[in-house]
Structure 1
């Protein structure tokens, strides 16, 4: 299985959300926290990414 990893600029483009909104969605202390939002994976000491399919699934779950 070939899991594509996307970085923050691509994530922002795909979700149409700002950097601060995305990080708020991952922060349990934020009013915008979303427990269903995919967690990032650590790529190196200072780099993270997200599995593209997890983001696609999350976006599809938001369609109502």
Structure 2
């Protein structure tokens, strides 16, 4: 199984929110922290990313919650 890595700008675009909102979701000290949001990982010394499959799963879970548990 191939797992693509998404950079912050790509994650923000996929979710339709700003890059700063992505970082707020990942910061436990921020009031907009979302424990269900996938954790980022270091791709290199200056690059952080998320697995596309985890972001897709997160979006699917949001859709399930919206529909009352049915997909």
TM class by shorter chain equals over 0.9
Q: CA deviation at 1:10?
A: 1.1
* Distance (whole Å) between structure 2 residues aligned to residue 51 and residue 59 of structure 1: 13
Which residue number corresponds to residue 14 of structure 2? 14
TM-score (norm 1): 0.93
Larger Cα Rg: Structure 1 or Structure 2?
Answer: 2
* Distance (whole Å) between structure 1 residues aligned to residue 9 and residue 22 of structure 2: 11
8 Å CA contact 2:42–2:48 kept in 1: the answer is yes
TM-score (norm 2): 0.84
Q: CA deviation at 1:24?
A: 0.6
Instruction: Give 5+ residue unaligned stretches, structure 2.
Output: 67-71
8 Å CA contact 2:8–2:22 kept in 1: the answer is no
Instruction: Give 5+ residue unaligned stretches, structure 1.
Output: none
Matched, 1:25 2:11: no
Provide the aligned length of Structure 1 versus Structure 2.
64
Which residue number corresponds to residue 46 of structure 1? 46
Computed over aligned residues only, the root mean square deviation of the Cα atoms, in angstroms, reads: 0.8
SS at match of 1:50: strand
